[in-house]
Structure 1
Amino acid sequence: MRKLTAGLFCSVDGVVESPNLWQFDSFDDELGAGMGQMIGRVDTAVLGRVGYQEWAGYWPQAAGGDPFGDFINPLPKFVASRTLSGGLEWQNSRLIEGPLEEFVADLKNGHGGEIGVFASISLVRQLLFAGLLDSLTLMVHPVIAGKGRRLFADGDPLTRLELLESQQTSKGNMVLSYGLRAS
């Protein structure tokens, strides 16, 4: 069975939205190497509509040689959306048909490497609480962002996790990978 993984940059106060506004002075070589290892295992992407539209507007035109652009552009991408219809313009992108959880469960039962959830806070939450996310990696930067969307919210279900891996980088980032704890 294929693994479903997600990785998010996170501030100490739990903000995961727009990390480009607060992570710039704490990103280090170890974090970059870890990200390279993470994406090296992924051969399929699942994205939300908003993230898809933002990335589809940027990555196809990004200059060649960017490691993430070289990774994400040719990758098969499945997009969860209730409002998009028809064909998607970004290469190797298609809409998810039917319920998200069923589609992802079927994808996990197929052949291939890891499936990465990208550019969607809501999809990460939905798939985690559905019991489908095998690994959630939070790259916690030593900064308080002060504002922005957080991954978890009041009213989320009580969910027990287990720490799978941890690493501290030279600039004080904590890379914490969690999985669902068996009941």
Structure 2
Amino acid sequence: MSRKVTAHMFYSVNGVSESPDKFQFDAFGQEEGERMGAALAPITEMVLGRKLWEEWRTFWQSDAVGADDPFGAFINPIRKHVISSTLDGDLDWNSTHVSGDPVAYVNELKQGEGGDISVAGGVETVRSLFLGGAIDTLTLTMHPAITGEGRRLFDETVPLSRLELVDSGTSSLGNVFLTYAMRSRD
């Protein structure tokens, strides 16, 4: 039995996924935290792009994060796989460098032992792994905000792709949660 690979991205009403901290500000509350906690509970490994890995590595190991921070307690010890064409050598922060074909790597990781795997980003990492079939479900949390600029998860370079809605919900803060899988091509 293979492990499940999931991804979760935040985005604005106009589809921007880059730098969600710029538009999440007042739309992330207890319900969103509970959903995130439930989604992370079965996760034993993470896949990240280099840029996000570098940002998180710096922040989550810093003194700014308290010992009782729930996400810090989750992310610091978990095994991380970093997709990068520019990194080389051994990585710290319980991380492994992924070289070669990321889709093949994640598909092989799925066949290993352990809990589920989360792909945390960035935009290009989630896009390529989802379109390549390595991600089983993609949850998009749409925040009630419009941002003028930023990269979109699915831009004009993405070919027509059919999705299947597998779960949805709305929070009291106005966030919409949409979980998709690629629709089978039969």
Shorter chain as normaliser: what TM range? over 0.9
Give 2:180's aligned residue. Answer: 178
Equivalenced residues, count? 182
| Structure 1 position 96, deviation (Å) | 1.2
| Structure 1 position 162, deviation (Å) | 0.5
Give 1:10's aligned residue. Answer: 11
Q: 1: CA distance between counterparts of 2:149 and 2:84? A: 26
Give 2:88's aligned residue. Answer: 85
Instruction: For residue 178 of structure 2, give the secondary structure of its aligned residue in structure 1.
Output: strand
Give 1:156's aligned residue. Answer: 158
Q: 1: CA distance between counterparts of 2:164 and 2:107? A: 22
RMSD of aligned Cα (Å): 1.0
Give 2:48's aligned residue. Answer: 47
Q: 2: CA distance between counterparts of 1:42 and 1:49? A: 20
Check conservation: 2:163, 2:181, Cα contact below 8 A.
yes
After TM superposition, list the pairs within 5 Å mapping 1:1-150 onto structure 2.
1-61=2-62, 62-90=65-93, 92-150=94-152
State the TM-score, normalized to the length of structure 2.
0.94
Letter in 2 for 1:119: G
Instruction: For residue 117 of structure 2, give the secondary structure of its aligned residue in structure 1.
Output: strand
Q: 2: CA distance between counterparts of 1:119 and 1:179? A: 17
| Structure 1 position 18, deviation (Å) | 1.0
Q: Percent of counterpart pairs with the same letter?
A: 46
State the TM-score, normalized to the length of structure 1.
0.96
Moved over 3 A (4+): none
Instruction: For residue 123 of structure 1, give the secondary structure of its aligned residue in structure 2.
Output: helix
Unaligned runs of 5+ residues in structure 2 are: none
Q: 2: CA distance between counterparts of 1:119 and 1:103? A: 15
| Structure 1 position 112, deviation (Å) | 1.4
| Structure 1 position 89, deviation (Å) | 2.1
CA deviation profile, 1:147-166 (whole Å, cap 9, x unmatched):
11110111211111000100
CA deviation profile, 1:59-106 (whole Å, cap 9, x unmatched):
11222111111100000001011111111122x111013321111111
CA deviation profile, 1:118-174 (whole Å, cap 9, x unmatched):
131111110111111100000101111121111011121111100010011001100
